[in-house]
Amino acid sequence: MMILQIGGNVRNIRKIKGFSIDEIRELTGLSKSTISDLENDKSNPTIETLNRLSQALSIDIIELFKKELNDTEPCNAVSNSIKLENKDNFIELISRDNTNDEDIERIALFYIIAENEDLYSNVEGIYNFEKHGITPYIALSENGRYDFHGSSRSLLKIAYNLYDGYPADILGTLYNLDENDYRIALNAINIRLRGNGIEI
């Protein structure tokens, strides 16, 4: 599987900011080999690793994804205030779950579900409102009732990862998203890691 290659961005930003690999290692707690592998696109970093790097470099995590995908620069679609395309869907989900403003994990999850029609129309297989939790093994099963394909399936993996650290190759998963779902994923990452607000 091909992955998005962000190593060049990490290396360039690090050099522009005047940091050595050793200084980034000290700031992030990551090993020198982890940072080197990431800069040379030899690893698939977790969201947490990317978050540590972006904090050490004093940049928005989205800056790490500035390479083009499908001849667009998706980073332009992300801002500090995130606009909902499907506001009614989002309000219904957070109301139904009684999600409070500080529950960033659920807000990121419900943002993704609300913005993707395929996921929203099958929300009962993704989230259990009675138990207030996700149901990943049903939603992601190959033979399951709620078997998503393509971009929706990849977006759901990112949603689960942001919610509870569900194992996902983040860069490989982002690569499999269509342009709209890529924008949704980057916005959700910003919601989850930076607490960026949603315009309602």
Using DSSP, how many helices (H) and how many strands (E) does the chain show?
12, 4
**3 state DSSP class of 140:** coil
- Tell me phi and psi for residue 81, to 5 degrees: -115, 125
Which band of pLDDT confidence, cut at 50, 70 and 90, is reported for residue 2?
very low
Q: Which residues contact 178 (CB under 8 A, 6 or more apart)?
A: 70, 150, 151
Q: pTM of the predicted model, to two decimals?
A: 0.74
Which residue is listed with tokens 């994923």? 185
Lowest-confidence segment of 29-33, 79-83, 148-152 by average pLDDT: 79-83
Which residue is listed with tokens 């390479």? 67
Lowest-confidence segment of 78-92, 122-136, 180-194 by average pLDDT: 78-92
Q: Which residues of 14-45 are buried (b: 16+ CB within 10 A; e: fewer)?
A: beeeebeeeebbeebebeeebbbbbbebebbb
* Residue 55: CB atoms within 10 Å: 14
**Closest by alpha carbon to 65, among 182, 167, 165, 166?**
182
Query: What is the percent of the chain where pLDDT is above 90?
Result: 34
Which band of pLDDT confidence, cut at 50, 70 and 90, is reported for residue 78?
very low
Query: What mean pLDDT comes out for the span 143-153?
Result: 72
DSSP state for residue 63 in the 8-state scheme: G
**Closest by alpha carbon to 182, among 1, 2, 4?**
4
Query: What mean pLDDT comes out for the span 101-109?
Result: 91
Query: What mean pLDDT comes out for the span 175-187?
Result: 89
